[in-house]
Amino acid sequence: MAVDERFRALFEPRGVLVAGASTHPGKFGFVSLHNILACGYAGKVFATNRDGADVLGVSTVAEVADLPDGEIDLVFVCTPAAANPDLLRACAKKGITAAFIASAGYGEAGEEGVAAQAELVALAGELGILLAGPNGQGVVSPPARLCAQIVGPYPPAGHIGIASQSGNFVSSFENYAQLTGVGVSRAVSAGNAAAVTVPDYLEYFADDPQTRVALAYIESVGDGRSYIQRLRGVAERKPVVVVKGGATAGGQRAAASHTGALASDDRVFDGAARQAGVSRAATVEQGFELAASFATQPLPRGNRVMVVTSVGGGGVVAADAIGRSDLVLAPVPDDLMADVDALLPPRWSRNNPIDMAGGETRDTVPEIVRLAASHRDVDAVLFLGMGIQSNQAKLMRDGPFWPDHGLERIVGYHERQDARYAEAAAEVSDATGKPVLVATELAVTSPDNPGPAAVRAGGRLCYPSADRAVIALDHLWGRSRWLARRGLG
Amino acid sequence: MPTLSEAASKELLGAFGVPFPDERVVAAVDDAVGAAGEIGYPVVVKLGGDGIAHKTERGLVRLGLGSAEQVRDAAADLLAAATPEDGEVHLLVAPMLRATRELIAGLHDDPQFGMTVMLGVGGILAEAVADVSFRLVPIERVDAEEMIEDLALQRLLGPFRGEPAVDRAAVADVLLGLSEAAQARDDIASADLNPLLVVDGRPVAVDALVEVR
């Protein structure tokens, strides 16, 4: 299917018009213009205002007719519902092909709203305008430095394409992007999804070179069969991560058959998603982590994991998590055993997890991570224990003895080492084409720790716990297996 | 919606490769005794008919009959228990199969997703345990295999109490057969194979109920 050029108008517009720009800093028409300007949108910005007043230094016009022709692709609509049909007609004359309707008063607002929404959809169809929303919070497209959104934040640029039936969860995913540094290619709130629906956006993401993984929050699926077939079409090309709300809302079916009695909405959706190769996340937070994993790690070709750790308990808990998943702890092959023996004192675990038991010196960690990931009998590596030395270094930096008594020198060493571990993990992953995940709670408790900071700087996700890293890796493996079993890998 | 009799349900699904026990449909008491002799004791005798959907609840299933005399008595009782609403009835004579493991499988026409195929852990606790997996019809073999993997009680599928591991390919065949039946016959509204017994590792459906529209 040919890419609908109008999605390019929505996500990479040459010029943007804010319709209904306001001088009141609490109004959508002010906030959206503010965000577009403040986030550094590179194209031309226009605005309409009933009184033609300047807003944030932008001179406005009262009528769309007074704007130049052919310079604007996208209109961000903040005007009242009643004004919008005329607005769209005027926009079409200027060559505008995409409209994001932030205005409320549509399908969510009773019978009259439903009628107004149907009219607007029909009109947009006649005019050839792609209609996003209405009643949505906006569209964000960091590759175009576009933040046409009535709320924060503006996430860093990356490769996760987000479409959501809840505006607020767009912000949630963007907040996680900001926290973790794993960025976003496109993010759109579907609003009432009157014309363009979540699967439409996901199909665009499948074609979009900026997007590596599609992340969706969905509630209702309407015709479930056609919905899931469309998701499958996307999943055959790119990973699709779905968080489904209302999982417990639909109870068991009232049915005569035993099979029917066992068929809850959620069980049927879950099976359909598995069949379609959709990675279903249990929570919003997990949804982001899975998407971030697909965006930044290669898929494993098998399920054999080697855990490399400088923390004994962490290794044990990681092994437990692997035991609950479809992953397995790789046995330590003889040649790898010999290689590690040569690098560590004899007290190391001599088993998987490879617990270095404090025997590591300057180059041990990068070397063992490299040996493990390079081995043909290992499909993925999980590294635990990064950042501990820098955590101590922080106490020294902040303490009363800094920088004397040799503190400056040891602190510098520790901090360089942790950053090096993070860099080595990414380098080894790139070199071997295997996932190498790094997990430490310091990613959230002390994000400036040089370990997690270096993982972020390298563009990857630093997992907040081994358990969460294992869940993510399990989903990477699930997709790898789904593709391979269907001849799509 | 009307249901097919157990015998007609089995005939329909059997044509798509769903495995059923070697059983006989007969009309009279003497024929039931003859059939039991051919099959070998012990046997089960059930009263069947298009109007009879819930045999167990009505006491229309007699299990573990070990002799011709027991079969004769049971068959006579069952025929006498038929009501005018049951319409035409018959006797179904089947071998008494013993199994420690029970699965459940079936078809369900979902209001949102259309026809689905299901596999689950069976037995009297099936609905409480709810260890089930659904897929949309049609399924391919890989989907059927993944449905078996979906079940949480994987230990039930391995070697169990002296019985061999469940033949996963044979279970996949059952699911594929159900999917094919649903595609070939759009008058099927639902189907239950309950229980789908695991006998010496192989699935055998000892009861079947198809709803038609």
Chain A with chain B: Cβ pairs closer than 8 A: 98
Residue B81 Cα, gap to closest chain A Cα (Å): 23
Question: Cβ separation of B139 and A275 shorter than 8 Å?
Answer: yes
Residue A254 pLDDT: 58
Q: Does B179 touch chain A (CB under 8 A)?
A: no
Total number of domains constituting chain A: 2
Instruction: Let me know whether A252 and A353 are in one domain.
Output: no
CA distance A130 to A124: 7
Residue A245: alpha-carbon gap to chain centroid:
17
Q: Does A261 touch chain B (CB under 8 A)?
A: yes
Instruction: Let me know whether A461 and A378 are in one domain.
Output: yes
Residue A302 Cα, gap to closest chain B Cα (Å): 17
Residue A1 pLDDT: 41
Q: Two tokens at A10?
A: 């929505």
Question: Cβ separation of B209 and A257 shorter than 8 Å?
Answer: yes
CA of B119: which chain A residue's CA is closest?
A259
- Domains defined for chain B, CATH in brackets: 22-95 (3.30.1490.20), 101-212 (3.30.470.20)
Question: Cβ separation of B211 and A256 shorter than 8 Å?
Answer: yes
Question: Cβ separation of B190 and A267 shorter than 8 Å?
Answer: no
Question: Cβ separation of B150 and A262 shorter than 8 Å?
Answer: no
DSSP-assigned letters across all residues of chain B: --B--HHHHHHHHHTTT------EEESSHHHHHHHHHHH-SSEEEEEE-TT---TTTTT-EEEEE-SHHHHHHHHHHHHHH--GGG-S-EEEEEE----SEEEEEEEEEETTTEEEEEEEE-STTHHHH--EEEEESS--HHHHHHHHHH-S-GGGGSSBTTBPPP-HHHHHHHHHHHHHHHHH-TTEEEEEEEEEEEETTEEEES-EEEEE-
Chain B residues touching residue A223 (CB < 8 angstroms): 112
Instruction: Let me know whether A329 and A289 are in one domain.
Output: no
Question: Cβ separation of B116 and A271 shorter than 8 Å?
Answer: yes
Instruction: Let me know whether A228 and A139 are in one domain.
Output: yes
Question: Cβ separation of B113 and A228 shorter than 8 Å?
Answer: yes
B177 pLDDT higher than 60: yes
- The range of the structural domain enclosing residue A372 comes to 298-485
**A435 vs A304, A386, A460, A480, B112, CA distance in Å?**
11, 17, 11, 12, 37
Instruction: Let me know whether A15 and A151 are in one domain.
Output: yes
Instruction: Let me know whether A324 and A388 are in one domain.
Output: yes
Q: Which of A294, A325, A343 is the last residue of a domain?
A: A294
Question: Cβ separation of A259 and B118 shorter than 8 Å?
Answer: yes
Q: Does A268 touch chain B (CB under 8 A)?
A: yes
CA distance A188 to A268: 27
Q: Which of A253, A273, A294 is the last residue of a domain?
A: A294
CA distance B103 to A262: 13
Question: Cβ separation of B112 and A265 shorter than 8 Å?
Answer: yes
Residue A250 pLDDT: 53
Instruction: Let me know whether A328 and A378 are in one domain.
Output: yes
Residue B102 Cα, gap to closest chain A Cα (Å): 14
Q: What is the phi/psi pair of residue A60, to 5°? A: -105, 165
pLDDT tens profile B38-95: 999 999 999 998 878 778 788 899 999 999 999 999 999 999 999 988 889 999 999 9
Nearest by CB to residue B113, choosing from A255, A268, A485, is A268
Q: Does B71 touch chain A (CB under 8 A)?
A: no
CA of A325: which chain B residue's CA is closest?
B152
Q: Which of A226, A257, A274, A485 to mutate to test the interface with B (most CBs of B within 10 A)?
A: A257
Q: What is the phi/psi pair of residue A424, to 5°? A: -60, -40
Instruction: Let me know whether A102 and A161 are in one domain.
Output: yes
**A31 vs A21, A22, A46, A153, B16, CA distance in Å?**
9, 8, 14, 12, 63
Q: Which of A244, A279, A294 is the last residue of a domain?
A: A294
**A225 vs A229, A240, B188, CA distance in Å?**
6, 17, 18
CA distance A369 to A339: 12
- Here the CATH number for the domain that contains residue A171 is 3.40.50.261
CA distance B88 to A438: 70
pLDDT tens profile A117-171: 999 999 999 999 999 999 999 999 999 999 999 999 999 999 999 999 999 999 9
Nearest by CB to residue B127, choosing from A222, A261, A485, is A261
Q: Does A488 touch chain B (CB under 8 A)?
A: no
Nearest by CB to residue A267, choosing from B107, B126, B134, is B134
Q: Does A327 touch chain B (CB under 8 A)?
A: no
Strand partners of residue A307: A382
Question: Cβ separation of A259 and B209 shorter than 8 Å?
Answer: no
Q: Does B191 touch chain A (CB under 8 A)?
A: yes
Chain B residues touching residue A271 (CB < 8 angstroms): 116, 133-136, 147, 150
Q: Which residues contact A176 (CB under 8 A, 6 or more apart)?
A: A182, A285, A288, A289, A292
pLDDT tens profile B96-123: 998 999 999 999 999 999 999 999 999 8
**B121 vs A126, A304, A406, B134, B148, CA distance in Å?**
53, 29, 66, 12, 10
Instruction: Let me know whether A114 and A198 are in one domain.
Output: yes
Instruction: Walk along chain A (489 residues) and give the pLDDT tens digit of each residue.
Output: 456 899 999 999 999 999 999 999 999 999 999 999 999 999 999 999 999 999 999 999 999 999 999 999 999 999 999 999 999 999 999 999 999 999 999 999 999 999 999 999 999 999 999 999 999 999 999 999 999 999 999 999 999 999 999 999 999 999 999 999 999 999 999 999 999 999 999 999 999 999 999 999 999 898 999 999 999 999 999 999 999 988 665 545 556 688 888 888 899 999 999 999 999 999 999 999 999 999 999 999 999 999 999 999 999 999 999 999 999 999 999 999 999 999 999 999 999 999 999 999 999 999 999 999 999 999 999 999 999 999 999 999 999 999 999 999 999 999 999 999 999 999 999 999 999 999 999 999 999 999 999 999 999 999 999 999 999 999 999 999 999 999 998
Question: Cβ separation of A269 and B133 shorter than 8 Å?
Answer: no
Instruction: Let me know whether A144 and A34 are in one domain.
Output: yes
Q: Does A254 touch chain B (CB under 8 A)?
A: no
Question: Cβ separation of B113 and A272 shorter than 8 Å?
Answer: yes
Q: Which of B104, B113, B124 to mutate to test the interface with A (most CBs of A within 10 A)?
A: B113
Q: Which residues contact A461 (CB under 8 A, 6 or more apart)?
A: A180, A182, A289, A292, A293, A296, A455, A472
Instruction: Report yes or no: A184 and A203 within 8 Å, Cβ to Cβ.
Output: no
Question: Cβ separation of A263 and B211 shorter than 8 Å?
Answer: no
CA of B122: which chain A residue's CA is closest?
A258
CA distance B119 to A262: 10
Question: Cβ separation of B134 and A486 shorter than 8 Å?
Answer: no
Q: Does B212 touch chain A (CB under 8 A)?
A: no
Instruction: Let me know whether A247 and A318 are in one domain.
Output: no
Instruction: Let me know whether A333 and A218 are in one domain.
Output: no
pTM for this predicted structure: 0.95
Residue B72 Cα, gap to closest chain A Cα (Å): 32
Q: Does A257 touch chain B (CB under 8 A)?
A: yes
Question: Cβ separation of B105 and A253 shorter than 8 Å?
Answer: no
Nearest by CB to residue A224, choosing from B53, B112, B127, is B112
**Closest to A326 (Cα-Cα) out of A201, A470, A171, A145:** A470
Question: Cβ separation of B120 and A221 shorter than 8 Å?
Answer: no
